[in-house]
Structure 1
Amino acid sequence: MTSQQYDGLLLDHDGVIVTLCSQHVLRDAALGAFADAGVSDPNPDDVDTITIRVSEDELCAVAKRYDVTPDRLWQCREDRIETTLRTETIAGRKAPYDDVACLERVEVPRGIVSNNQTRIVDFVLREYGLRGQFGTIRAREPTRASLREKKPNPTYLEAAATDIGSSNPLYVGDSESDVVAGQRAGFDTVFLRREHNATSHLETEPMADLESLEAVLELLNDS
């Protein structure tokens, strides 16, 4: 652990603040994106490829197979995903975890760092009355270029720390890419275990491996 006291808290959004959307719902959105781009019968593997954790190279390869521009396919995908996640949020199927309430007791500035779209993260937080708790949101614009800045690239993390005026933030994520991004940014990083990643094995060791935001709060208070 860094000896200096933490002067900020950065958190991933999906899987840390709010629950994940079901895989089949996201896949349906990706399938709809192909239809919007004029592709009527895409290969199921290609649908899976653009559903989540998409790289720019993967997107370009898929688009080429169907003679669609990558920008067109990606815009269709982003718009479908946004509509889907708005619907899931309004229906209450994408909702804050119970322990998010403890963040009201955090005394240092807070920010969100996500690989999701900024417009989605902002909508979800506002829908549940949480937007005011965070001084910044650093996430993706719905463009192909944004794929180059996703975590594990530390760009969003570094920008969020600057936004909240923090030189030594604690970062909380739920994936290997979060841990890698945190280390690349030089920030102590907590791997937060939820139901979806309870048994995950990490190749990269986080500073701490915790099971609740309450435990994160204790770590902050002890720093």
Structure 2
Amino acid sequence: MIDYDAILFDNDGVLVEPPTDENLVDAAESAFRAVGVENPDATHVDEVVRGVTSDSLRDVCSVYDVDPAEFWHARDRHASDAQLAEFREGGRARYDDVAAIEDLAHDLGIVSSNQHRTVEFVIKFCEFEDLFDTYYGRGMGVEDLHRKKPDPYFLERALDDLAAESALFVGDSESDVVAAHRAGLDSAFVRRPHCVDTSLSTEPDYEVDDLYDVAKIAN
């Protein structure tokens, strides 16, 4: 068993329930309207909901002759507001098995590809302040798009914060697994209900059912 200095976690789908596709689509449509596009193509809406890259954003915005930076700020603001509302209205919550990691002696951190603003809200709303020693989401500008996982940028910043030489990163997507390996970390893939049928082309170091299994690995 490896004695890790720290354990890092993705947020959405690992510590808290993931946002609903319906809410994110509604937020994306609102963002289009905010920049003057009343009837965007459904394919373009889908393209800016998940897995957005600088290139795909530029391509979509060129169709409607809108500024990518202006649109992306609107998109992220509406997406973040929609997620905060989900928590406040009871549509999302922390997973019960977060209790499994509350007594771990390790330094703990969060690294998310979601907006840092949204992660900050989750930290307070879910009462994570005393549990996690550092946390990162990305900025709401186009300049941070390339820093989303699988880029290891924010993982490496979290490791520096914790002065950790060895760490485990727990995620629920292939990009989490790839980011962990690029940062030189071990990876644990959590097969929550929303990703139980996900096929991975990159092998994680561990596959687990929940955070109780993560606690067993750590101990």
Q: TM-score range by the shorter chain?
A: over 0.9
Report 1:1-223 matches (<5 A). 4-221=2-219
Say if 1:122 and 1:131, in contact at 8 Å, map to a contact too: no
**Alpha-carbon distance between aligned partners in 2 of 1:110 and 1:33, rounded to the nearest angstrom:** 34
Residue 25 of structure 1 and its aligned partner are, at CA, apart by: 1.1
**Alpha-carbon distance between aligned partners in 2 of 1:77 and 1:69, rounded to the nearest angstrom:** 12
**Alpha-carbon distance between aligned partners in 2 of 1:191 and 1:84, rounded to the nearest angstrom:** 27
**Alpha-carbon distance between aligned partners in 2 of 1:102 and 1:21, rounded to the nearest angstrom:** 22
After TM superposition, the score normalised by the length of structure 2 is: 0.98
Residue 41 of structure 1 and its aligned partner are, at CA, apart by: 1.1
**Alpha-carbon distance between aligned partners in 1 of 2:102 and 2:3, rounded to the nearest angstrom:** 19
Please state whether the residue corresponding to 1:132 is helix, strand or coil. coil
Residue 136 of structure 1 and its aligned partner are, at CA, apart by: 0.9
**Alpha-carbon distance between aligned partners in 1 of 2:57 and 2:13, rounded to the nearest angstrom:** 24
- Partner amino acid for 1:76? A
**Alpha-carbon distance between aligned partners in 2 of 1:45 and 1:75, rounded to the nearest angstrom:** 20
- Partner amino acid for 1:17? L
Say if 2:119 and 2:136, in contact at 8 Å, map to a contact too: no
**Alpha-carbon distance between aligned partners in 2 of 1:118 and 1:94, rounded to the nearest angstrom:** 18
Runs of 5+ unmatched residues, structure 1? none
Please state whether the residue corresponding to 2:144 is helix, strand or coil. helix
Structure 1 residue runs of 4 or more that deviate by more than 6 Å after TM superposition: none
